Structure 1
Amino acid sequence: MRNPQIDYGAVFHALPGMVALLTPDLLYADANEDFLRLAGRSRDQLVGRYIFDVFPEHPDEPAAAGMRETRESMLRVVASGERDTMALLRYDIEDTDRPGRWVEHFWSPVNAPVFGSDGSVVLIVHRVEEVTELIRARGGPGGGVHASVLEAELYTRARELQDINERLRQSQARDREVALALQAAMLPAPTPVGHHPVAVRYQPAAGALNVCGDWYDLVDLPGDRIAVAVGDVVGHGLEAACVMGQLRSALSAAARVADGPARALEALGLYARSVEGAESTTVVKTFIDWGAHTITYSSAGHPPPALLDPDGTVTFLDQATDPPLGARPEHVPRPEDSRAFTDGATLVLYTDGLIERRTEDIDTGLGRLAASLTRHGRAGPEDLADALLADLLPPDGATDDTALVVLRL
């Protein structure tokens, strides 16, 4: 029997129950017919619009938490790549035919990831079970939840789930605070490198999960030289912060004895094999020699440093890139490249949170970085670092943390 040709678009729209697709930025990509019918919105009113512009929260309900809980659930799906089942929530909807009139609704939502070819979350499946009639008392809207045993049981279980979710959020918030404190304690304080000004920044992710895997490091070397590095550990929270501290310290020590950045990364790669959670870490290491006016660099799967010349030209140092730590089963020498620089140039090292967006090619983010550097290139390192964060990070907060080093050469 031949395999049937299935129109999955038609299947999606015919699915029973409310189902919508959203982008990682929480914009509607599509919705099935039941979603449109039960939510009282047309497809044109949804597709391409931010979820909470379409469904704002009831302005006269100060205790309403549906918008916050829904947003946090969806961002957890994007950050973790795992399904998130929400507790029952009340989320009133404004009647489009009668502005100012809000209709009471009770929803039981589940959010699930859809992965792209690169393994990142490209869509969120938002499935909603409409349970308003079960929750609403037989006396009419607002009459309570005690009209039947089933309604009372459902409400009790919903409250229990909400309490569990709240305790989980509080636990994540505590873990975030501890991880950030640990991060701050392990990252070096910014200090001038001789007469060369430098600015460093660490910007944590907006959510409680995707935080504390990024680091930067500056090391004085014999002669008129320094080593600068940035790195990114795969993982989140306290575990990532601890791995970050071990790798940063090991690379800092290796830089003091290695004869170049490639050898330092080779030593770090060997050490990383004994550190649980260090696999797939990306890092770029640069040795700067002011006497020779050269930057020597090597990258382990990391976004390329940017060199801004005094004339505004931006060059990405991408000629010595190799896989991340632990990506090869056997030790292989890493590549290394050197580039000359002129006095007054600016070197920028950063982690992927500054440039990468799940819905874009990395070249788009690199182009934004180059444009921002050209636009603000005359600023000093401190002002330039602030300008880069303002230009490149999403206004509602990034889903990944960001480390940034700006050095005037």
Structure 2
Amino acid sequence: MVNESEIDFEAVFQALPSPVALFTTDLVYAEANEAFLRSMGRTRDQVVGRHLSDAFPDDPENRAVSGMRKLQGSLRWVAATGERDAMTLHRYDVEDLDRPGVWEERYWSPVNVPVFDADGRVALLLHLEEDITELVHTQGGKDRATALETMLYNEALELQEANVRLREAHAREHEVALSLQDAMLPTLTPLRHHLAAVRYRPAAAALNVCGDWYDLVELPDGRTAVAVGDVVGYGLAAACVMGQLRSALSAAFRVSDDGPARALEVLGLYARSVNGAESTTTVLCVIDDINRIIAYSSAGHPPPALLHPDGTVEFLDQATDPPLGARPEHIPRPQSNVPFSEGATLVLYTDGLIERRREDIDVGLNRLAASLIRHRGTEPEALAGALLDDLTPPAGATDDIALVVIRL
């Protein structure tokens, strides 16, 4: 098996048979493969480091041919939204550098794709194109090509209008789902024995909220139960599933004193009857102030973090089992206990706080631990804000975040 470190990705890029180029988000060519340069009749020095409009301007004598301007619009849209754009067939001509002012009629079918950095920001734009000039010309000549281009342009306008309507519908659903989720998440009331803070932050660029939730309850026997969870999916469906599971778990640990593992077992059995609940992750901690013990159990969820008064951080990862509904048969879930000292801080969160694309989860956990140590001694309200500031990427979180901070 070949390790990733042994692959020469530059050689792979250059060997690709289709024309491919990389742009910066300012639309400057960062790289182009050999197929691209051959297709355009350019050397690398004539392309790389130059802006798209400088390297390949539209024919100033033929304003009807505006392919490069359309390509710039597509690339800017991909850079702004982080979404892929497959452009319809369109014409943009290429100037013959050996004969200035002579433009060769060309037809292309481009695809533009965002390339993200470790923080989830668009870092580069991948431009893949297919030259279909010969195909267009052999299927009826220039008149047919012009008619085809006009037809596709009209179809593109119709598709654009349909996309606008779809985005408006998604935006309305987003508002409804966010309102529903906000209504179903509990309002934090002052606790008798602890200071606490909660946060819910939707993903920055998503049209749909996800099924993240939290719960924080003082039990009749004086213990405190705190939970977070994350439903797979997004939008109204995920928000509704989230509400059902949060309520079911809240009922399970309110009526049973058998501990968090038993409560998650009950939730798992209930989840089998709820469409869309499969693979939900959740973690439940029950805080016993008399014995200074936290009992916890996790269903595939990122581990809670316990910041001790001496500044060390311990992740509660000794009682982790698969997500809800992941096993075909019911078996008891694990539970573990961890002691704590007065002044410790317990932090529960969903994966949007720590996970990044193409990054090992341990990197995110180390980032969380470093932030907790840096803000050691901070009260829960201020600490919750500091954690979000430290751990949210500059471009915004790519997933929803639910966060609970409780001083023990």
Normalising by the smaller structure, the TM-score range is 0.7 to 0.9
> What is the letter of the counterpart of residue 159 of structure 1?
L
Residues 173, 67 of structure 1: alpha-carbon distance in 2 compared, 3 angstrom cutoff: farther
Partner of 1:250: 248
Identity of aligned residues (%): 67
Give the alignment of 1:118-157 within 5 angstroms: 126-129=127-130, 148-157=146-155
Deviation at 1:175, TM superposition (A): 1.5
Partner of 2:389: 390
SS in structure 2 of the partner of residue 275 of structure 1: coil
Residues 247, 311 of structure 1: alpha-carbon distance in 2 compared, 3 angstrom cutoff: same
In the alignment, the residues of structure 1 paired with residue 175 and residue 370 of structure 2 have an alpha-carbon distance, to the nearest angstrom, of 34
Partner of 2:267: 268
TM-score scaled by structure 2?
A: 0.74
The one of 182, 196, 199 aligned to 1:198: 196
Deviation at 1:65, TM superposition (A): 5.1
Deviation at 1:18, TM superposition (A): 3.4
The one of 66, 73, 77 aligned to 1:69: 77
Give the alignment of 1:82-101 within 5 angstroms: 85-86=86-87
Q: Return the index of the structure with the highest Cα Rg.
A: 2
The runs of 5 or more residues in structure 1 that have no matched partner are 1-6, 23-27, 52-60, 78-83, 92-104, 115-122, 133-146
Partner of 2:305: 306
Matched-pair contact (CA < 8 Å) for 1:173–1:208: no
In the alignment, the residues of structure 2 paired with residue 40 and residue 408 of structure 1 have an alpha-carbon distance, to the nearest angstrom, of 63
SS in structure 2 of the partner of residue 302 of structure 1: coil
In the alignment, the residues of structure 1 paired with residue 37 and residue 239 of structure 2 have an alpha-carbon distance, to the nearest angstrom, of 44
Give the alignment of 1:4-403 within 5 angstroms: 13-19=14-20, 32-35=33-36, 66-67=74-75, 69-71=77-79, 75-76=82-83, 85-86=86-87, 109-110=110-111, 126-129=127-130, 148-209=146-207, 211-258=209-256, 259-403=258-402
How many residue pairs get aligned? The number is 348
Show CA shifts across 1:186-218 (max 9, x none): 001122211411111111112335622111011
Show CA shifts across 1:83-116 (max 9, x none): x64567999xxxxxxxxxxxxx9985436799xx
Residues 390, 8 of structure 1: alpha-carbon distance in 2 compared, 3 angstrom cutoff: closer
Residues 369, 330 of structure 1: alpha-carbon distance in 2 compared, 3 angstrom cutoff: same
In the alignment, the residues of structure 1 paired with residue 280 and residue 406 of structure 2 have an alpha-carbon distance, to the nearest angstrom, of 23
SS in structure 1 of the partner of residue 210 of structure 2: coil
Question: RMSD of the TM alignment (CA)?
Answer: 3.9
> What is the letter of the counterpart of residue 309 of structure 2?
P
Matched-pair contact (CA < 8 Å) for 2:173–2:208: no
> What is the letter of the counterpart of residue 261 of structure 2?
A
In the alignment, the residues of structure 1 paired with residue 334 and residue 30 of structure 2 have an alpha-carbon distance, to the nearest angstrom, of 43
Residues 201, 67 of structure 1: alpha-carbon distance in 2 compared, 3 angstrom cutoff: farther
TM-score scaled by structure 1?
A: 0.74
Deviation at 1:178, TM superposition (A): 1.2
Deviation at 1:397, TM superposition (A): 1.2
Deviation at 1:68, TM superposition (A): 5.2
In the alignment, the residues of structure 2 paired with residue 127 and residue 406 of structure 1 have an alpha-carbon distance, to the nearest angstrom, of 46
Show CA shifts across 1:23-58 (max 9, x none): xxxxx9975334467598779859xxxx9xxxxxxx
Residues 396, 9 of structure 1: alpha-carbon distance in 2 compared, 3 angstrom cutoff: closer
In the alignment, the residues of structure 2 paired with residue 211 and residue 395 of structure 1 have an alpha-carbon distance, to the nearest angstrom, of 19
Residues 354, 8 of structure 1: alpha-carbon distance in 2 compared, 3 angstrom cutoff: closer
Matched-pair contact (CA < 8 Å) for 2:79–2:114: no
Residues 272, 126 of structure 1: alpha-carbon distance in 2 compared, 3 angstrom cutoff: farther
Residues 196, 318 of structure 1: alpha-carbon distance in 2 compared, 3 angstrom cutoff: same
